[in-house]
Every structure is written in C-alpha cells, then in structure tokens.
Amino acid sequence: MPLALYALTAGAFGIGVTEFVIMGLLLGVSADFGVSIAMAGLLISGYALGVVIGAPVLTVLTARWPRKTVLIGLMAVFTLGNATCALAPTYGLLMAARVLTALAHGTFFGVGSVVATSLVPEDRKASAIAIMFTGLTVANILGVPLGTWIGLSLGWRATFWAVSLVGLVALAIIAALVPKEEAPSDAGDWRADIAAILRPSVLLGLLTTVLGYAGVFAVFTYIAPMLTRMSGFSEAAVSPILLVFGGGLMIGNLVGGKLADRSLLPTVFGTLATLALVLALMMPGMRLAATAIALTGLLGAAGFATVAPLQIWVLSKAEGAGQSLASSFNIAAFNLGNAIGAWAGGMAIDHGPGLAAVPLVAALFPAAAIVVAFIAMNADRRAIAPQPADQFNS
C-alpha cells in the first residue's frame, strides 16, 4: 500500500480522537461551565449534527478543488476548531467550536475515501478504505484513553491542545505524502451530483448504512451499564474491557476490507448478518462475565467489518465527481445511525423492555439493513436490465 494511504490514516486518527474523547471529559466540562452532565452530553450531539450537515455542504462547495487541497484545508479547519475548543470561555462557544470541527469530519472521510481508492488497483480499493479507517480504530484503542488521561491530569482544555497538535502533524504528513493532482476533470454541476445521490439505489445504500450502524450504537452507547449491571463487572473494569472492543474494531475493519475486495455483495450481506447475530447473542451472553468480554470484542469486530464494504458499495453506485458527494453522504449516514441507535437504546431502557433487551432491539437494525440491501441490489439489476423497447430494437 502506498505511503499516502497512511497519511490519510493519520488524519483519521486525529478526527477519531476529537469525536470520541469528549465522552471522558464531560465531568470536567460540566464543572467548569456550571452545566448539567446532560447539557455537556449535547456536545456529542452537536458534533454529530455538524458531521451530517457539513459532509454534503463542504463536499459540494469544494467539488472543483484539487482533492489534496481539500484534505489540507479540512485538517486546517480541524486544527483551528480544536484550538478554539481549548480556548472557549463559555459553553456556547465550546459548542460552536465543536460544530466547526465536525464540519471537517464527513468531507475528510468522504474525499479521503475517493483519494484512497484512486491510489490502488481495482482489487484493493476496499482494503485501502479500511487502512484509512484504521486511524479511527487506533483512536479508540489508544487516542481516546490517552486524551482522557491528559484531561483528567491537566484539565480538559489540555486534551484539545493535544488534539490540535495531532491535527498539525497530520496536516504536514498529508501535505508531504498525498500526491498532487489537478482539480477533478469530471467536476460538473452540483445539481447533477445531487440528482445522482437521489437515485433509488444510492438512497437505499445510504439507508443500509444508517440501519447497520444504528445497531452498533444502540448497544455501544450503553455498554458500560450493561457490563456493570448485567455482567457484574466493577466500574474500574469497564475501561480494560473496552480495549477488547477496540481490538475488535481494528481486526474487523481490516478483515471487512479484504473480504470486500474479493467479493463485495456477499461481504455486505455477510457482515450485516454477522452483526445481527452478535447483537442477538448479547442478550443472553451479557449475563456471564466470560461471554460478555468475548461478545464485546465481537461487537467491535462485527460492527467495523461493515464499514469498508458499505463505503465502497455506496461509492460504486455513484459516478464521476458524484463519488465524493456520495462518499461524504455515507459518512453522514454512519453518524445519523449513531444518533438513531443511541436514541433507540435509550427508549428501550426508559420506555420499553429495559436494559437487558437493548441488544435484541439493536439486532433488528442490521436485520432491516439486510432487507434494504436486498431491495437495493434488485433496484440495480432492474436499472441495468434492457427494456422491452431496447430488446425489440436490438
């Protein structure tokens, strides 16, 4: 794999840290600004909203720029946003800075996916995307715990300064290693790109991503209370167990990419089915300590095994410059799935069958994703099938 791919991995690492590290800093932020934990938690929702809005908007606005220029500009926005977080004198400005930072997230992964696939042969495109997304998995395994430790030791603002430094390093690596290119020659009217996104097969592909990842976050959002209340672990044991989850993320991500390179559609269906099975097994399995640890790792592996196949699948449905927009929309779809999953899990706990049933509720999402993917596959077949008039003329 070319070194330029690992430059994209470095950027993904920084973005992954800034997205997730806030979860470990909520108590400090809450105390510093005198807001409730729930209010501090909205910083996570605000970031997700920034990703959903920023991904398509920035991709359209930068469609005619050279992609390397776009990536460097996005890392500059990312660095500036984190520095502003570190300096924020009020909760409102911190929220605004988080949203600013999030604007770079979706477009970076969207454009980065297109760049990654352009650097490798056809049979290694999914693996290239998986390598870029390895930055996210390493962020979860190493970056987030380290960032949380810095925040607890030196204050939450120090964490954002550290992430700003990561952004500067990633920017320099991207500038040095990603090859120069001209502006995309196929960058056309943004209306045509939007029209391409609105094709049924693309929309169904995006919906598959939303549903698949909603299942992951319906459980992962509440994994700590599951481990303590259902499995009987102490609160101190949760962090080491989450390292098992992080290890699963990395393995599943790379395996999913390699399998998708060999056979894309079977991998899409296979990874979603595996995810649904793991989630269903978590309902009884989380009641035993040993199986709870194993299933937590399997959740990470099954969840991230879907990422590269779904990303390359949606990319394959778009054409020309519309690929960057479709790719960015798919990143937004992952984040929308995160939000829906967390909401569904909370509803099951507060107004439904309770915490123990959350994995079963979560399993319904990838099961529904399989149905949607099947419909999308058939939509593609109908789109390429010759019409009766064509058959007559031929």
CATH, residue 9: 1.20.1250.20
The pLDDT-based confidence of 187 (bands split at 50, 70, 90) is low
The pLDDT-based confidence of 54 (bands split at 50, 70, 90) is confident
Which tokens belong to 160? 């954002």
Q: Domain boundary residue among 177, 211, 231?
A: 177
Closest by alpha carbon to 68, among 163, 226, 181?
181
Cα distance from N-terminal residue to C-terminal residue, the chain: 45
Longest dimension (CA), the chain: 75
Which tokens belong to 136? 């996210």
Statement: residue 183 has pLDDT above 80: no
The type of residue at 337 is G
Which pLDDT score, from 0 to 100, does residue 220 have? 83
Kindly state whether residue 344 falls inside one of the protein's structural domains.
yes
The pLDDT-based confidence of 337 (bands split at 50, 70, 90) is confident
Closest by alpha carbon to 187, among 316, 72, 60, 54?
60
pTM of the model: 0.75
Kindly state whether residue 40 falls inside one of the protein's structural domains.
yes
Closest by alpha carbon to 355, among 247, 188, 221?
221
How many domains, in total, are found in the chain?
A: 2
Instruction: Name the H helices within the chain.
Output: 3-20, 26-33, 37-61, 67-87, 91-118, 125-138, 144-154, 156-177, 190-197, 200-220, 223-225, 238-262, 264-285, 289-305, 307-317, 322-351, 358-384, 388-393
Which tokens belong to 212? 């698949």
Same domain, 204 and 161: no
Same domain, 266 and 149: no
Kindly state whether residue 321 falls inside one of the protein's structural domains.
yes
Which tokens belong to 123? 């049979």
Which tokens belong to 90? 């009020």
Same domain, 92 and 204: no
Residue 30: domain span: 1-177
Same domain, 234 and 315: yes
Kindly state whether residue 224 falls inside one of the protein's structural domains.
yes
Q: Domain boundary residue among 145, 177, 209?
A: 177
The pLDDT-based confidence of 389 (bands split at 50, 70, 90) is very low
Highest-scoring range by mean pLDDT, 37-41, 269-273, 352-356: 269-273
Kindly state whether residue 390 falls inside one of the protein's structural domains.
no
Which residue's entry shows tokens 């992964």? 109
Kindly state whether residue 182 falls inside one of the protein's structural domains.
no
Kindly state whether residue 109 falls inside one of the protein's structural domains.
yes
Lowest mean pLDDT among 198-202, 267-271, 323-327: 323-327
Which pLDDT score, from 0 to 100, does residue 275 have? 95
Same domain, 65 and 198: no
Which pLDDT score, from 0 to 100, does residue 322 have? 63
Dihedral sign for Cα 75, 132, 50, 45, please: negative
Percent of the residues in the chain that have a pLDDT greater than 70, as a whole number: 90
Q: Domain boundary residue among 151, 177, 203?
A: 177
Q: Round the average pLDDT of the chain to a whole number and report it.
A: 83
Which pLDDT score, from 0 to 100, does residue 310 have? 86
User: CA triplet 46, 299, 362: central angle to 5 degrees?
Assistant: 65
